[in-house]
Amino acid sequence: MADSHLLFVWKPSGYELREETGDVPAVGAAVERDGELLHVSKVAPSPLPGDKRECAYLVLA
């Protein structure tokens, strides 16, 4: 189990980067955030320089 990962969360105003504990969700997984059902569109390295965590990119279902 990973200590933490990042979520790149879609919002009407743009994307928001969030830190979450545990393993990164898999591509295609459904994730609920702020009352919205989102899906993981891709998993990639963190967009932050020098950060070795994975980042899940979430889009509207």
pLDDT of residue 13: 87
Per-residue pLDDT band at 9 (split at 50, 70, 90): very high
Longest dimension (CA), the chain: 32
Q: What is the mean predicted confidence (pLDDT) over 8-14?
A: 87
State how far the Cα of 46 lies from the Cα of 48, in Å rounded to an integer.
5
pTM of the model: 0.88
Strands 54-60 and 4-11: parallel
pLDDT surpassing 70 at residue 2: no
Residues 6+ apart with CB under 8 A from 57: 8, 40, 41, 42, 43, 44
